[in-house]
Structure 1
Amino acid sequence: MAEPGAMLRVARLVSILVHPVVVMAAAAVVAAGDGPSPALRWQALAVVVVAATGVMVYSMSKTRSGRWVHVDASQRHERAQLNRFASWWLLVLAVGLAMAGAHAGVVAAIALSGGIVLAGHLLRRWLKSSLHVAFAAFATGIAWPHVAAAGVLLAATVAVAWSRLVLRRHVPAELLSGSLLGAAAGAALHAIVQGWIPAPAPTP
């Protein structure tokens, strides 16, 4: 049986490795691989980087100004500010991408990401939905129907849920809420893009 200290170290590592940016980037690579153009994969990755950079710059500016204790926004008021900014940043980014003619699937994924964060923010009075779990579940939905990739991301979702419990960042109800938000976003994405991305031609 693992010692408590070792378990905490593993949980912290899992929480870092299964960060929302990491799983969304992985899902973007998998999903965009079947797109109508090879450039779609790079477009999807670039959008994930831009989205993450905006959130990170905001967090760092708050920390350096002394308004936040840590860049992770661990305090309740810090988390509320971060989620409010991130939700609107992602939604505005989605609008900008749509106006620029970006792929519909990319636009929808960013808009739904903003929706996940916004939903978590609106639910904050009742529970602190796990966004780590939400985005891991969303990434699993994005990767489907690539069975192997979706399976790996599903395992990552379970692992990060375990890590958040061990680190005492969330209780089971908050993990369940996050998983439901992510699953709903994944289902919505497939409904939105159905018919917009041509199916690959059958192999002779």
Structure 2
Amino acid sequence: MLRISRATAAARAVSIVLHPFVVFSALALIAAWRLEPASLARTLVGLGTAIAIVWLFIWQRRRGGHWQTVDASRPQERPLLYGLVLFLAGGYWLWMGGPGSAMSAGVLAAVAMLCVAGLANRWIKLSLHMASLAFAGVSLLQLAPAVAAVGLMCAPLLGWSRLRLERHSYSEVLGGAALGAASALLPYLIG
């Protein structure tokens, strides 16, 4: 049986607790609660459906031996994942009301972030863990400043975990964080 160090176990726990599914779910629920409380149930159903579909896909790819890890750690494993997530994000945007939703600009900014990460994947495997946490932290600055501060303070710990698990290089961790933060500013710059 392979034994892992306490540091590696801690890194795994951090990566699970701050997984993009967890972070984006928290962001979507807080945004719905603050911007459009009547949409909370619709938000939960949309998130639950999208996450279940992605997890089934990941489980199938990993179980079938197509992926080394559930993180799609090799760059060649990511294009299918990006395609599925973008398709589901578009469906979620429509489910939430499309351009009529109070959260429309935020969902589209997240889609733009994923598009850039997907295109950049040819050259650099940006950390989606870091991108999602930075995106959520910056997005929540006006909606829930205390939650935003906690999220942003967790970024160095998450960066350490991605490096410790050898899922990313320093440039991939920093690049993911920069992409997430910049993408979260899009609704403010455009609107």
1:1-204 equivalences in 2 (<5 Å): 5-36=5-36, 38-98=37-97, 103-105=101-103, 107-145=104-142, 146-191=144-189
**2:46 is matched by which residue type in structure 1?**
V
Higher helix proportion, which one? 2
Distance 2:13 2:33 in 1: 28
Question: Normalising by the residue count of structure 1, what TM-score does the alignment of the two structures yield?
Answer: 0.78
Change beyond 3 A, Cα 1:127–1:166: same
CA contact (8 A) 1:89 1:114 kept: no
Distance 1:64 1:123 in 2: 27
Could you say what the CA RMSD is over the residues aligned between the two structures, in angstroms? 2.5
Residue in structure 2 matched with residue 201 of structure 1 by the alignment: none
CA contact (8 A) 1:14 1:160 kept: yes
**1:16 is matched by which residue type in structure 2?**
I
CA contact (8 A) 1:88 1:114 kept: no
Percentage identity across paired residues of the two chains: 32
- CA apart distance, 1:120: 1.1
Distance 1:42 1:52 in 2: 15
CA contact (8 A) 2:29 2:43 kept: yes
Change beyond 3 A, Cα 1:88–1:63: same
Change beyond 3 A, Cα 1:68–1:162: closer
- CA apart distance, 1:61: 3.4
- CA apart distance, 1:124: 1.4
Change beyond 3 A, Cα 1:45–1:93: closer
Distance 2:21 2:72 in 1: 16
**2:161 is matched by which residue type in structure 1?**
S
Give the SS at the match of 2:35.
coil
- CA apart distance, 1:69: 4.7
Counting matched residue pairs gives 187
Gaps of 5+ in 2: none
